Structure 1
Amino acid sequence: MKSLRTRLLIAFVVLCGVTAAVVAGVTYVRARTVLLEKAQVAAVEAFTEKVARMTELNADLLSDRFSAAVILHRGRAVQGGLDPSAVSPELRARVASGEVSWQRVVVGGRAGLVMGMRVSDVEFYSARTMDDEQRDIRELALVAWLAAGCSMVVAVLLALLAARSVLRPVRELREAARRLGEGDLTTRVAVRGSDELAGVAATFNTTAEALERQVADARRFVADVSHELRTPLAAMTAVTDVLDEEAEHLPGDAGTAARLVAQETRNLTRLVDDLMEISRFDSGAAALAPDEVDVAAAATATLRLRGWSDVVTDLHPVTAVVDPRRLDVVVANLVANALRHGGPPVTLTVRGERGQVVVEVADRGPGLDPEVLPHVFDRFYKADSSRARSEGSGLGLAIAWENAVLHGGSLVAANRPGGGAVFTLRLPSGGGR
């Protein structure tokens, strides 16, 4: 599919080209006809005038402009240098009827004009070449096609200017839509003029403003709700901790209920904490507290703190300026995701690579479906839509990605050639933005 610019250019050039060709062709044909007719009329008038002034059968009275002439008396040539066979039967028939007639002929590739008239029983014929007229016609054709060619050049230049003026707002709208889709809700486009494209630009700005307000309201609502929940959740956590400790001493269903309440309270607390973290990223309040850290040692501490002793490690000492707390969050979320959804063994690798720190978390599970890969870092995204809920909050990978970007790095997901998923975190060793 050709681009809109190319299609506009082709359409404009074809239209102008066809128009120029038609105009040049019509002009050429019309001018050629007029030129030949004038030459014919002039030649016939001169021929008629000479014949009318003749007082005796004397071929010398014919004009010097005639390249050849013949006089027929009762059908026989009596004088002249024109071969009678050059006079066609059709022309002789018209002359015999008393008409002053002429006929165009081509002999040896050269155009000519044969004229004839009858006086009494004598027929006068004369021929002349039309080399001058043919030369004028060729010059006329050359001028016509040169004009058409110049028109095509002008058409191409005009088409380029028109395409540029039309497509510039379209490109601006495309770029603005891309930025808006990437989350830059402050994106606006310049409104120029009052045409249809200006109307589209104004509508885009109105829509972007409305979307920005709605998203801001939604983020504020989430932040406010999360903040208000923290106090009651703190009290609930204190109570459930006591219940959890006493659950083994409670009989039957009471112990099960106590353990369930404690677990769900912890899940709810984790969800509120994640929502608070996401709201900080959305509002731009998230900030780094950078420090020089041995990333391998920090990763080891993350595993030890959570009791993940079955994770296989390949850790190479490498120092980087990062936020230790946020690095811990990223590594913990990636390893937890691999343990929950992947297959053993889960491998954690840390290495240095040309000014970067590379952290890889891989597993040997079924891997990620190709349809899932583009969405693994989306908030609340579930690969299996039939799951009403999961053990996690659905925000862990999204928070890990936000922390990677905050450091000026990247986090990508892929499938391993031998099976399983691999998440690769790359951070600049000199610190984030």
Structure 2
Amino acid sequence: MVAYGLLALGLSSVLALVTWGVVSDYLTEQRESSAMVETADNAAAFHYGLFGAPQPCRPVREQAECGSLTPDPEVSVTDLLTSLPSTDAAASMVYYDDTWYSLTGKPSDLPVDLVTEVRNGTAADRRLTVGGQHVLAVGVPMKQPGTAFFEWHPLASLDGTLRTLKITLVAAAIVTAMIGLAVGRLASTLALRPLAALTKVADAVARGRLDARLEAENDRDLGGLARSFNQTAADLERRVAADARFAGDVSHELRTPLMTMLNSMQLIQNHRAELPAAVREPVELLGDDLDRFRRLVIDLLEISRDDGGDQGSREIVRIADLVRAAADGTAGREVTTVAPEAEGLTLQADKRRLERVIANLVENAEDHAGGCKGVGVEAGGLGVIITVDDAGPGIAPEDRERIFQRFGRGETSGRGRGVGLGLAIVARHVQWHQGTIQVTTRPSGGARFVVELPAKIT
């Protein structure tokens, strides 16, 4: 686009300069020629009025009087200047009989070289500035030696025409450059449209839409690239689906022995008082690991369900009620605060997924960040903003993206009971609802998870 604009500007500038040179020279030459003709005509009229018509030739013996110049003694030079034909000349002056005669102009304003050249018998002109006015001084010699006639003609009209021409050419160059930019933008858009489509589809695949494909396989320029990309995306989709099925199958197979172990552990813990003191601590450690194992299996089932293409089911959900029930139930106490304007907000949501988002965030605060300090619901952002605050040391800026990856943990998370899948599930479910999630710092210390969802008031 910039190249088109610069090319258009360059071409229009060259054309404008050439046009300016040709037209300005032509107009100036025409003005000078016209002024010279008018001055010559006035000089001829002045000469005729002063000397009259040339005397006819008489017989040979009186040949000395043929064409003689004899001024009429009854004619006033000043009156002759006044009676000259009306032209656009601003002033008329004549040097006659070693004396200057003028009506409005001052002979002293005429350049000395101009006066000398004209008195020597050569017509000439000069550009002058007289009284702040730009004029063209023109002088023509007369038949009597040493006599010269001068006029100066205003150039305001010519200057105005040239100024208008200059503005017009500059404006035309700018408009041409803008048109070049527009044409360049259109051309670049058309030329890069396939690459824009490729970027869009690649971004969709990167965000988890593995079924996104390019529709440019028949394009003569990008057909090979499109086919290779689509094949790669299809292979990736099959691989992810296979991994999801494998994780789901393993998780399902683990559920039965896990339930057996959990029931057995519950029975042992019910008779904990009957156990020897040396056995109680290992039993407690085994119970914690079994609970961690249970969470891992549940998280794997959740992720495999999403990776396997589970579309879920959408229903209208009152966000305040759902968040209050999920957060308070997970924390075992009232931790939810709902702003009055958020009480009526609803969302087309998968209730199970949304409950899992809230539960995982509260559980993460309870288990790894010193406890949940509060859950807030208010209107704003995309529609509704849900915040979950904890009492931990906060999350370092360099870890705030990594904690939402699978098995990703922050440096301050320690070695709690989590396995690093809870927040990854939260990010997937929030994205499924076309929402966003980010981590900030709570004003009074700790971390604040901020979830925005596209809700509306019913």
TM-score by length of 2: 0.61
Matched, 1:313 2:353: no
Give the Cα separation in 1 of the matches to 2:254 and 2:284.
Answer: 16
- Aligned-residue offset at 1:125: 0.7
Deviations 1:52-95 (A, max 9, x none): 9963335799985797464656xx34999897656644235445
- Aligned-residue offset at 1:348: 6.0
Q: Is contact 1:95–1:118 with CA below 8 Å preserved after alignment?
A: no
Residue in 2 that maps onto 1:278: 303
Q: Secondary structure at the match of 2:146?
A: strand
Q: Secondary structure at the match of 1:130?
A: strand
For these two proteins, the number of residue pairs brought into alignment is: 408
Q: Secondary structure at the match of 2:404?
A: coil
Q: Counterparts in 2 of 1:1-400, with a 5 A limit?
A: 18=13, 22-23=17-18, 25-39=20-34, 42=37, 55-57=67-69, 68=92, 70=94, 72=96, 76-77=98-99, 88-94=111-117, 99=122, 101-108=124-131, 109=133, 111-117=135-141, 122-131=145-154, 135-136=157-158, 138-150=160-172, 152-153=174-175, 155-157=177-179, 159-166=181-188, 179=204, 181-186=206-211, 209=230, 212-230=233-251, 233=254, 237=258, 267=292, 270-288=295-313, 295=322, 299=326, 302-303=329-330, 311-314=332-335, 326=353, 329-344=356-371, 346-347=372-373, 361-384=388-411, 391-400=417-426
- Provide closer, same or farther for how the CA distance between residues 141 and 428 of structure 1 changes in structure 2, counting only shifts above 3 A: closer
- Provide closer, same or farther for how the CA distance between residues 290 and 419 of structure 1 changes in structure 2, counting only shifts above 3 A: same
Q: Is contact 1:302–1:331 with CA below 8 Å preserved after alignment?
A: no
Structure 1 stretches lacking a partner, 5+ long: none
Q: Is contact 1:368–1:421 with CA below 8 Å preserved after alignment?
A: yes
Q: Is contact 1:226–1:272 with CA below 8 Å preserved after alignment?
A: no
Q: Is contact 2:119–2:147 with CA below 8 Å preserved after alignment?
A: no
Deviations 1:215-262 (A, max 9, x none): 3134123224314534764576478669978999999x9999999888
Q: Which moved more, 1:34-43 or 1:173-182?
A: 173-182
Q: Secondary structure at the match of 2:444?
A: coil
Percent identity, aligned pairs only? 21
Give the Cα separation in 1 of the matches to 2:35 and 2:262.
Answer: 118
- Aligned-residue offset at 1:30: 1.8
Residue in 1 that maps onto 2:64: none
Structure 2 stretches lacking a partner, 5+ long: 55-66, 73-79
- Aligned-residue offset at 1:122: 1.8
Give the Cα separation in 2 of the matches to 1:301 and 1:427.
Answer: 20
- Provide closer, same or farther for how the CA distance between residues 134 and 28 of structure 1 changes in structure 2, counting only shifts above 3 A: farther
Q: Is contact 2:39–2:150 with CA below 8 Å preserved after alignment?
A: no
- Provide closer, same or farther for how the CA distance between residues 92 and 381 of structure 1 changes in structure 2, counting only shifts above 3 A: same
- Aligned-residue offset at 1:187: 5.0
- Provide closer, same or farther for how the CA distance between residues 337 and 78 of structure 1 changes in structure 2, counting only shifts above 3 A: closer
Give the Cα separation in 2 of the matches to 1:358 and 1:112.
Answer: 79
Give the Cα separation in 1 of the matches to 2:107 and 2:373.
Answer: 109
Give the Cα separation in 2 of the matches to 1:105 and 1:296.
Answer: 89
- Provide closer, same or farther for how the CA distance between residues 16 and 271 of structure 1 changes in structure 2, counting only shifts above 3 A: farther
Q: Secondary structure at the match of 1:313?
A: coil
- Provide closer, same or farther for how the CA distance between residues 20 and 149 of structure 1 changes in structure 2, counting only shifts above 3 A: farther
- Provide closer, same or farther for how the CA distance between residues 58 and 112 of structure 1 changes in structure 2, counting only shifts above 3 A: farther
Q: Secondary structure at the match of 2:135?
A: strand
Q: Secondary structure at the match of 2:185?
A: helix
TM-score by length of 1: 0.64
Q: Which moved more, 1:153-162 or 1:231-240?
A: 231-240
Task: Quote the RMSD (CA, aligned, Å).
Answer: 5.9
- Aligned-residue offset at 1:422: 3.9
Give the Cα separation in 2 of the matches to 1:101 and 1:353.
Answer: 86
Give the Cα separation in 2 of the matches to 1:296 and 1:89.
Answer: 100
Give the Cα separation in 1 of the matches to 2:260 and 2:423.
Answer: 30
Deviations 1:383-426 (A, max 9, x none): 12998x87423111222343455567776544322222344668
Q: Is contact 2:394–2:446 with CA below 8 Å preserved after alignment?
A: yes
Q: Secondary structure at the match of 1:129?
A: strand
Q: Is contact 1:98–1:117 with CA below 8 Å preserved after alignment?
A: yes
- Provide closer, same or farther for how the CA distance between residues 280 and 165 of structure 1 changes in structure 2, counting only shifts above 3 A: farther
